[in-house]
A = this chain, B = another copy of it.
């Protein structure tokens, strides 16, 4: 191993240590305030922002929700969420393919979390990079829309392995695409036998309540210290 390789490995380790420490700092900040945190990950356009809007409708009047939006550029998603009257902060990663724990920690320090009970983080649209970076979340949720192909859990196993919940979205489009939900379920369970799987359509509303009920019960359990 030459010197450059040694330096490279040392720098990579140092970066990883810093990532891990910052994730722990986020986790303890949230735990101290009893805030339940979700990290939403998917390809661009799988329906993360739409699912957040459904969560906001469900939690309206049930304690504060705060949202962090991650995108390379623009405030498009933050503006969309802001219309729902909740606290939202946009992180622009420029060329970064995921939200860094340090970016999230800085964002949380800027926000008023005194009333917040649920934190929803929408990661950068990417099925690869965010899988390796814990953000101190309670549940990691991966979304896969039925237009993306049913072999994706085989081709991108890490995100399916590290997610607690898989949400299959846009099921209203099933009649128009080739997509075998059973194949996705099987492949996802190979990657992670404990994964919980939901299928839903934000257009027809089918399956949405089952998902929202589950998130509500998770959050309630954390709120009571259970």
What are the residues of chain B within 8 A of A1 when measuring CB–CB?
A: none
What are the residues of chain B within 8 A of A64 when measuring CB–CB?
A: none
A110 at the interface (CB under 8 A from B): no
In chain A, residues 141-171, which have Cβ atoms closer than 8 Å to a Cβ of chain B?
A: 145, 147-149, 151-152, 154-158, 170
Stretch from A20-28, A66-74, A206-214, A216-224 forming part of the interface with B: A66-74
Interface size class of A (residues with CB under 8 A): 35 or more
Stretch from A32-40, A55-63, A111-119, A123-131 forming part of the interface with B: A123-131
**Nearest opposing residue in chain B for A80, CB measure:** B151
What are the residues of chain B within 8 A of A44 when measuring CB–CB?
A: 43, 127, 148-149, 152, 155-156
What are the residues of chain B within 8 A of A149 when measuring CB–CB?
A: 44-45
In chain A, residues 93-143, which have Cβ atoms closer than 8 Å to a Cβ of chain B?
A: 95-97, 124-129, 131-132
What are the residues of chain B within 8 A of A77 when measuring CB–CB?
A: 155
Q: Are B11 and A158 in contact (CB under 8 A)?
A: no
Contact with B along A1-28 (1 / 0, CB 8 A): 0001001101100110000000000000
Given contacts A7-B11, A71-B155, A74-B151, 18 further A-B contacts (CB under 8 A): A4-B11, A43-B127, A44-B148, A44-B149, A44-B155, A44-B156, A45-B149, A72-B128, A72-B157, A73-B155, A73-B157, A76-B151, A76-B155, A125-B128, A125-B155, A145-B147, A147-B147, A173-B176
